[in-house]
Amino acid sequence: MPKNYTLFNMTERKVRVRFAPSPTGALHIGGVRTALYNYLFARQHGGEFIFRIEDTDSNRFVPGAEEYIIESFKWLGIKFDEGVSFGGNYGPYRQSERRDIYKQYVKVLLDAGKAYMAFDTPEELDAKRAEVQNFQYDASTRMSMRNSLALPKEEVERLLAEGHQYVVRFLIQPGEEVHVDDLIRGDVVINSSILDDKVLYKSADELPTYHLANIVDDHLMEVSHVIRGEEWLPSAPLHVLLYRAFGWEDTMPRFAHLPLLLKPEGNGKLSKRDGDKLGFPVFPLEWHDPKTGEVSSGYRETGYLPEAVINFLALLGWNPGNDQEIMSLDEMVSLFDLSKCSKSGARFDYVKGIWFNHQYLLRQADIDWTPEFDKVLRANGIESTPEREAQVVAMMKQKVVEYTDKLGNKKKRNVSFVSDLWPLCDFFFLAPQTYDKEGDKFIRKNWKEGTAAEMTELADLLEGLSDFSVESLKQAVDAWAEAGEKKPWNPWRVCLVGTGQGPDMYELAAFLGKVETVNRMRKAVAMLA
């Protein structure tokens, strides 16, 4: 038998968990949450977090997927301790590089009579499925098939000598109650009679299936807990039986099967189509499919902060036991408890995700908005400085933005992405070119007979100021307005902005400076006269 690592008491076992995606495309946001929960569990228990690539299905391999997954976690700030691209003492960590290891363990099962070789062709299997309703390769059918249990030894040897392709199937004994001790769901019991003789290995590519590779890798890498999605729960009894077949039951990891991420309306598993329909990403980064050329949006490119995405995901299916919503990664580590994970699916409330991003943006210093804000400005032909950009952020970050959702509904929300700023603040950098006195309700209401003369008088006042700070402007304009019993602020806004939006007028004028402020006022007077 291949090397068996030292057995030790589970109570003394070092926590080691893994995230093991397949490089078959973009990383789904549900996979990110699974990785996050593994990370939190490992950090809370002073354990280790392993990154493994499960690439045994060569037909589904997508170039660039592995690199995409690694980049996603770098952006999210979820750090691995060992694995593909990170090193470690339990490698290789890419399953395609572990063929010889799996072959050894396949032989162990065959020699022990716990598995058998099956030579059935795809055509023969299709014929059997057509013949037998709800056909399943198990105790009730295996002796009527072409496998090493049903065929004479000589026939098996001949088929092997002639190079016939085969698979290795696990021998399931029917009628046994298999218990899965799940940290979230408790004792899950499944009768082995409903299980089929799963394929563990394929001679065609000399690679194992997920089931065998996963068990062998988890054992050899001394994984203590397997925290994965609910979709793997039906496979858990098979995995328990495989641990038993190898004699590894004493060091079998503890299982925890996480609730599914559901569609926003709550009916069914979250899919990319839901995101396309409602206008939210389901991938951490933008994904360019090399096979179809299709481009899918990502949380990073949409403008989400990684901390917001992590916080949002953490609370989808887990309750920390208090009313706290905003949590740092360190706070999540201290509070995380698998027993507080829900057994039922978690509705993907993407609107709440936007709220989280808003909260995290507000917690940033204004200057920290400017790298992304500068990109937005440059895309609109504007060049500015980080200092001035930060000033705009300070004035506009608490504003409300109007938008149209994917379903055509007009809605309002707080500024939640840096890109939200541009439609709210173009006037900081571009003077109004037109003034729609007829079509703009704000202008129509606030530009009356005599307004032009009033704005000219105010422009003259401002032109004479030597100090154009907010404080100086407020003192001068307030005194002038009070003395003349005037209310100039809305017409003044029309002059500087062109409509009824924008920040405090003194802040705006101070930002624009005396020359620009006065020029805009005189231009507006000329055009609206």
Count the alpha carbons within 13 Å of 507 in the hemisphere toward its beta carbon: 10
Nearest to 21, CA basis, from 250, 286, 228: 228
Catalytic residues: 272
* Measured distance CA(388)–CA(428) in Å, rounded: 10
Q: 280 in helix, strand or coil?
A: coil
Element (H, E) at 457: helix 451-463
CB 199 within 8 A of CB 106: no
- Block residue for tokens 């023969």: 124
Task: Give CA–CA dist 28/434, Å, rounded.
Answer: 47
Grouping H, G, I as helix, E, B as strand and the rest as coil, residue 210 is helix
Residue 227 CB coordination number (10 Å): 26
- Two tokens, residue 285: 């980064």
* Inter-CA distances, 437 with 69, 115, 472, Å: 54, 84, 31
How far from 75 is each of 67, 224, 448, CA to CA, in Å?
Answer: 12, 27, 54
Long-range pairs, 461-465, Cβ under 8 A, ≥24: 462/509, 462/514, 462/517, 462/518, 462/521, 463/514, 463/518, 465/514
Is residue 172 within 8 Å of 142, Cβ to Cβ?
no
Query: Rounded to the nearest 5 degrees, what angle is found at the Cα of 105, between the Cα atoms of 104 and 109?
Result: 120
Element (H, E) at 346: strand 346-347
Neighbour count for residue 368 (Cβ, 10 Å): 15
Across the strands, what pairs with 178? 190
